[in-house]
Amino acid sequence: MSSYNQEQYDALVMVRRYVAGLGDDEKAGLVVSLDEYLRFRQSVDDFLQTHFGSVCNQACYQSRLSACCSREGIVTFFADGVINVLLSTPQEIDRLAETLRQDDNGLKCVYLGRNGCLWRLKPIVCAMFLCDRAENGVFRERPALRRQWEAYREHKKRFTWPDRPVLFDNLEAVFIAAGRTSPLMYLHNSPGLIRVKQEALRRNKKAYKRSAVYNGLQGNAKQDERKRNKLENHG
Ligand code: SF4
């Protein structure tokens, strides 16, 4: 198994086990927290289907080129995986696990099956991807549509970019609080994103205090302070 597949597989198994161990109310609470995001995703899908459906169908699907799925290791956030597990049937999760255990899929994404993507709700990076050819073809004569698409890209940040409490960060925090970690938790692992969060916390502590990430951030700040003290005492 490639290291990419292994990371994805480990995260999938861990999320599946955790979700299976939740009580009905806890699981329902997590699913409810997805409402706004799922409405956003539906709106993006509708937009793409309306304006890009025929372009992509002709250029990629009929020819089975699926050019946007031909990267070897697509970036998935930990939260993408959690959301997908929460929405999937056990059979769908089995299929993902099985495909990750197989050897590589040539130059195609490992998740690309015979009938398309195997995810119930594909990763956000994929959902918002437009190739240059499609983008230029559709937007060239229609600047209002391009503006609408830019607005969608901005809106996406309300779920993924941690300059405020966001769903993708919260979902990671829930698992970390339960003692689970994964290299795919970029919102807790990436030094750049942690800095964005700490800056946001300084600006708006009130908003963060209501979110699941607050304790984690406080933990990070305390750790930083302890490290600083240690260094100073050492000197
Ligand atoms: S995860 Fe799905 S949509 Fe994304 S590249 Fe792979 S097959 Fe395509």
Arithmetic mean of pLDDT, 13-41: 95
pTM of the model: 0.85
- Residues sharing a CB contact under 8 Å with residue 60, sequence separation 6 or more, in sequence order: 66, 67, 68
Mutate to test the pocket of ligand 1, among 5, 48, 69 (most ligand atoms within 8 A of CB): 69
Confidence of residue 128 (pLDDT cuts 50, 70, 90): very high
Ligand 1 pocket, residues with Cβ under 6 angstroms: 69, 74, 109, 111-112, 117, 119, 122-123, 126
* 148-183: pLDDT as tens digits: 999 999 999 999 999 999 999 999 999 999 999 999
* Rounded Cα distance, 67 and 130, in Å: 10
Nearest CA to ligand 1 atom 2: 117
122 CA to centre of ligand 1 in angstroms: 7
Q: Do residues 160 and 192 lie in contact, with contact meaning Cβ atoms separated by under 8 Å? A: no
Q: Say which residue, 135 or 6, is predicted with more confidence.
A: 6
Planar angle of CA 53, 58, 62, nearest 5 degrees? 110
Q: Which of 120, 200, 192 is nearest to 166 (CA)?
A: 200
Q: Do residues 112 and 106 lie in contact, with contact meaning Cβ atoms separated by under 8 Å? A: no
139 CA to centre of ligand 1 in angstroms: 23
Nearest CA to ligand 1 atom 8: 69
Could you tell me the residue ranges of all domains in the chain? Answer: 3-234
* Rounded Cα distance, 196 and 194, in Å: 5
Q: Which atom of ligand 1 is nearest to the CA of 119?
A: 2
234 CA to centre of ligand 1 in angstroms: 50
Whether 209 has a pLDDT exceeding 80, the answer reads: no
- Residues sharing a CB contact under 8 Å with residue 87, sequence separation 6 or more, in sequence order: 31, 34, 120, 121
The H or E element spanning position 117 is strand 116-117
Residue 38 C-beta-side C-alpha neighbours within 13 Å: 12
Nearest CA to ligand 1 atom 1: 111
